[in-house]
Amino acid sequence: MPTYHLNIRTESHIADTLTIERDDHDALRIEMAKFVGQTLQDHAGQIWLDQDWQIDVSDASGLILYVLHVSAFRAAAASGIT
């Protein structure tokens, strides 16, 4: 069964966070989405510090196959609010 790596990349950090085996790419993308949801739940405060995350899936050779971007920013309406 093929092996894939889920990675989180921020401006200051790259983490190879999870290695999974999947037979098909639909299951791989679903696992990626679940991983992103769980990571945001577990580290909700961190996204506000880093602001831009790239979560990607690479194959065993390091080729990036899928990418999700998560961005957090303070909109103009929130200026002055702490």
Q: How far are the Cα atoms of 1, 38, 77, 79 from residue 68, in angstroms, in the given order? A: 24, 14, 26, 27
- Residue 29 is part of which domain span? 3-78
pLDDT score recorded for residue 16: 65
Q: How far are the Cα atoms of 42, 62, 64 from residue 18, in angstroms, in the given order? A: 15, 14, 14
Reported as type and span, the H/E element at residue 5 is strand 3-9
Q: How confident is the model at residue 20 (pLDDT cuts 50, 70, 90)?
A: very high
- Cα separation, 9 vs 50, in Å, equals 10
pLDDT score recorded for residue 14: 72
**Structural domains of the chain, count:** 1
Q: How confident is the model at residue 32 (pLDDT cuts 50, 70, 90)?
A: very high
